[in-house]
Chains A and B, each alone.
Chain A
Amino acid sequence: MTAPDAPGADTASDDAVIDRHPIFETGPRLALCALLQGADWVEFGTVRDLIGASDSAVSKHSRTLEDAGYLEIRKGSVGRRPRTWLRLSPPGRTALRGHLAWLTGLRNAVDGSQ
């Protein structure tokens, strides 16, 4: 088993620009986006359960991220049950990588100064 990289060291794009995005600093948005980063689509209820947030919190924050162009939301159904699916958009992936790189740099700076 390989050692995990630092969360901001995304080898999928070694040229990620270090860029803070304050939109990720509210509520569970960063955890939500980090979850979606590794998947194609994740169902709303699964996102809620995995990040431990309420339905209203996931709904509110996902809408904000969608308005910012960072999230795609798709509504469908499984059988007769309506389902909502979430996915990070390409700009969202880029922004998340930049923000994680900024956070990792911050942590390294703090660790280095101690």
Chain B
Amino acid sequence: MSDTPELDQVVDARRKLSAYAGFPRTYWVLYGVALVLMAGLPIWSSFLPGQAFNLQWVLLAICLAAAAYSVLQRRRSGVHLPRQISAYPSAQRPRYTVLAVTLASVFIIYALVGNGHRTVALIVLIPVAAVIFAGQLWTRARMRDDIAAGRVAL
């Protein structure tokens, strides 16, 4: 029997709350699709000349859908977790790593398409999207760890 059942209660409460940092499988599938669409935008634009305007509307719709999902999830779950990454000390490094990889990838893919290497850009897109996707999974896992360990800084 634990000498401090109070601390066990604390651990249990934090563990239950940390589950709310996860996303359902459907979200991750849709996120993967959106990621490929957005990261490969210069590639799709080159396949569909004159449709850049329409593709931007698609991009806007994806962003609005993501924002709406976030709002609905907070309402339905009854839990408002901190939005800013600075609240999760362990999740900051993966988040900034993903950000750096994303920015570099966008630059590289635009450069490849701009120089006529569309096929190479398409090949590069696959591992890039995989790395960004894995980085997001890593970030959410770290957020869960911080919540479960009581490291959230508000």
Contact = CB atoms under 8 A, between A and B. Distances in A.
B146 to A, nearest CB: 8
B6 A50 contact: no
Interface in A91-112: 93, 100, 103-104, 106-107, 110-111
Contacts of B78: 42-43, 45-46
Contact of B150 (A5, A30, A107): A5
B82 interface: yes
B79 A42 contact: yes
Nearest to A107: B4
Given A7-B150, A39-B81, A78-B75, A34 B4 contact: no
Interface in B19-65: 20
Interface residues of A, number: 40
B12 A11 contact: no
A31 B10 contact: yes
Contacts of A30: 6, 9-10
A104 B10 CA distance: 11
B141 A103 contact: no
Interface string B79-106: 1111100000110000000000000000
Given A38-B152, A40-B154, 16 more contacts: A4-B148, A4-B149, A5-B150, A6-B7, A7-B7, A9-B150, A31-B12, A32-B13, A34-B10, A34-B150, A35-B17, A37-B150, A38-B147, A39-B81, A103-B4, A103-B7
Report, nearest first, the 7 A-B pairs whose CB atoms are least far apart: A46-B78, A43-B78, A12-B153, A34-B10, A40-B80, A41-B80, A35-B13
